[in-house]
Amino acid sequence: MKKMRIGIVCYPTYGGSGVVATELGKALAQKGHEVHFISYRVPARLDSFVENIFFHEVNFADYPLFERAPYESALTSKIVDTVLHAQLDILHVHYAIPHAATAYFAREILKTKNIYLPYITTLHGTDITLVGKDATYEPVVTFSINKSDGVTAVSEYLKEETYRSFAIDQEIKVITNFIDLDRFHKAKKEHFKKAIAPLGEKILIHTSNFRQVKRTDDVVKIFKKVLDKIPSKLLLVGDGPERQTMEQLCRDIEVMDHVRFLGKQEAVEELLAVSDLFLFPSETESFGLAALEAMACQVPVISTNAGGIPEVNIDGVTGYMSNVGDVESMAENSISLLMDDNKLNLFKENALKQAHAFDVHKILPEYEDFYKLVIERSKVEQL
């Protein structure tokens, strides 16, 4: 395949969209493409030097008039600058707000310089299901999705939800989240396990950005019910606005001695590798990358059946699903699995098998083919 020069715009934080964008860029670079990340900080997972990866920092000059520096204008200008100097073939923006609108604006500016820069928008989740629907953003989201040269969504659910919630006249291609199975696998970390669960307790884990949509209180409530029946420990990986409330709840229901708040962790796969069960009681989830990461490390998933989760977690095979808020059912399912080692081991195997369906080596060519198609199509349309 002809090597491409690809610009990637994403959030640099630990959120799912930034993680997917960064892992995608790294995988594309490994295949020889030239990848240019554009963001206000080096993305969290862009942690080592790769020859054909470049980073362009958006710095927004402050001025006394601004209460809030206009990030969108700075980002648009940085995209234009990068295209002019790096001669990008295509721009891929992750998370619609505000990235799709800035890509549209940059494309219009570049047209005045006789350059046509096609852009692809990837919808990740809350840009559609929560934030994007709000009247504050809806007109801009609808417009900039419709003006994209290509649109992808990370699950069938998200694609349908986008059509339901916005007046979209574009075809949306589903390209799911993916996983690097070389990194996410069940490595032997016995010393770790011993340190966390010295008496051989079962280890439950939750990783997220601790926002309301994750229903982190349900994580703690489920754990309490499990702990009443089975000696166990809970690992909480990540950080976010709900952390304080969670900590208070842990104290109120007296489980703190069995809970570890680990904060944001780089090597989450090492913690997953020693875990027995992943708790994922989200209100909504377009796909559930965190669950896929757990499954790749052979950790069965106790989740809700919200959004796109059923496209990843198979009820009664790789874990169990319950209705949102049904703490009782999620606790019962956890207990039944943790009490039956044969069943638990079978589910662990099944989880890994299911993760293979989302192997990066399978999904990456879908992106490459889509880039090619969009580049060719936009060339024809410019004739």
Judged by the rule CB under 6 A, the positions of this chain that interact with ligand GMT are: 15-17, 20, 95, 124-126, 129, 154, 177, 209, 213, 284-289
The smaller minimum CB distance to ligand GMT, of residues 153 and 227, is found at: 153
Q: CB of residue 336 vs ligand GMT: minimum separation in angstroms?
A: 26
Strand order of the sheet with strand 277-280? Answer: 259-263, 232-238, 202-208, 277-280, 301-304, 319-322
What is the C-alpha separation between 48 and 231, in angstroms, rounded? 39
49-84 b/e with 16+ CB inside 10 Å = b? eeeebbebebebeeeeeeeeeeebebbbbbbbebbe
Choice between 80 and 358, CB closer to ligand GMT: 358
Q: Which is nearer to ligand GMT, 36 or 124 (CB)?
A: 124
- Contact at 8 Å (CB) between 187 and 352? no
Our CB check for ligand GMT shows the closer of 121 and 232 to be 121
CB of 51 vs ligand GMT, minimal distance in Å = 27
- In the three-class reduction of DSSP (H, G, I as helix; E, B as strand; rest coil), residue 135 is classed as coil
Q: How far is the CB of 178 from ligand GMT (least distance, A)?
A: 10
Three-state secondary structure call for residue 173 = strand
Q: 138 — alpha (psi -120 to 50), left (phi > 0) or beta?
A: alpha
Taking the C-alpha atoms of residue 46 and residue 13, their distance in angstroms, rounded to an integer, is: 11
Nearest-approach distance from CB 161 to ligand GMT, in angstroms:
10
Could you give the count of Cα atoms lying within 13 Å of 46 in the half-sphere of its Cβ?
Answer: 29
- Output the smallest distance, CB 21 to ligand GMT, in A: 9
In 3-state terms, what secondary structure has residue 118? coil
- Pick the closer one to ligand GMT by CB: 34 or 269: 269
Q: CA dihedral in degrees (76, 82, 87, 91; nearest 10)?
A: -50
Q: Least distance to ligand GMT from the beta carbon of 382, Å?
A: 31
200, burial (CB in 10 Å: exposed 0-12, middle 13-18, buried 19+): exposed
Q: How many residues does the chain have?
A: 383
Identity of the residue, 300 or 307, whose beta carbon is nearer to ligand GMT in the bound complex: 307
CB of 257 to ligand GMT, least distance (A): 29
Closer Cβ to ligand GMT, 72 or 283, answer by number? 283
Cβ proximity to ligand GMT: between 19 and 90 the closer is 19
Distance CA 99, CA 113 (A): 21
| Sheet of 150-153, strand order | 53-57, 34-39, 5-9, 90-94, 119-123, 150-153, 172-174
Residues 33-45: b if buried by 16+ CB within 10 A, e if exposed: bbbbbbbeeebbb
Of 17 and 322, which CB lies nearer to ligand GMT in the complex structure? Answer: 17
Minimum gap (Å) between residue 281 Cβ and ligand GMT = 12
Task: Select 179 or 226, whichever has its Cβ closest to ligand GMT.
Answer: 179
Q: How far is the CB of 229 from ligand GMT (least distance, A)?
A: 30
The least distance separating ligand GMT from the CB of residue 20, rounded to whole angstroms, comes to 5
* Residue partners of 345: CB distance under 8 A and separation at least 6: none
Q: Is 122 helix (H, G, I), strand (E, B) or coil?
A: strand
Spatial distance between the Cα atoms of 13 and 45, rounded to a whole number of angstroms: 9
